[in-house]
Chain A
């Protein structure tokens, strides 16, 4: 006997992990070059990527498109599909960190920007290396704290 939650859009779970890998690399370069124009451009680009994934949908997320068009077709079919809602929520969390980073850069607070980038990088790395969604874990804690 099992009570099911409602059905949702499904995706190949390797897509978000590929995206997490690219995100980790992009943000690592942004950290190494912190304070430069290149760093700002990379953070802005990553903000756009997260924004597309979170607001429009995972099908519009650039790294997801690369995975579906180029990587996925060359791999064996996925063993199981996964719900699209958790990775999409993670994109929204990433967008928040990138927004904080961009605002900090605009205000000249490079160190604060680097911390925000570092937190997003840690989350993306956990996703890529361990298939672990940090933003998803924070969701229930956030609900517990905010909803009476």
Chain B
């Protein structure tokens, strides 16, 4: 029996591993299907892309006036040219961080189809992570292309500038990739919280809004009061767009690059753990409504 038990543990481990590989493959499959599926909504992308461009132009106008007539212009952390780039890239990245949880998952929570999802031999957290991440990325591509393209074609002072250096561009791309995971992980934490609530979307919307405000999407973080800058740098939502954009315009010294990326990944890991923990608790008490 003793020997059998040892073998049992080893078998269990290989089984768990092969289960993990299959889950990962299935999640990649889901990701592929879902993101391709969202790519087909081109008209929606065109209209939301023009909204981004419109907002970017308004913000640039406002900040240009602001910079020109400010009393302490030399005290600004970013130059006006850097600020223009900040705005274009910010508008590009904003749709990667929607202010609501994934429509499909929300519909499943409300209709009780969570039960059907649980009948799949997949870890629900990663299954949904793949789905919601794919939903974001599919919608993001077209809109980002439109915003970036128009930003680069703008005349002189309105144009999205070139990256500060090749290294800056690479760090920007790495940081965007990790921000994608970060915001998907936070979205999943909010989804897990929503899983136990039967009454409306208020609390989840508030959670998402906190992220939106602290990301710098409304008011760029460099313009917030000086005494807050330390806090703004370490809080998780700077990773949404402020940190990647700072890499691009060269507002983060290369020496701090590794620490900054590590900060983003650390928050991501924390959100994943918290999301899994909340979800496990919720599923134990979950009630699947209806027939």
Instruction: Decide whether A and B are members of one complex.
Output: no
Chain A contact residues, CB within 8 Å of chain B: none
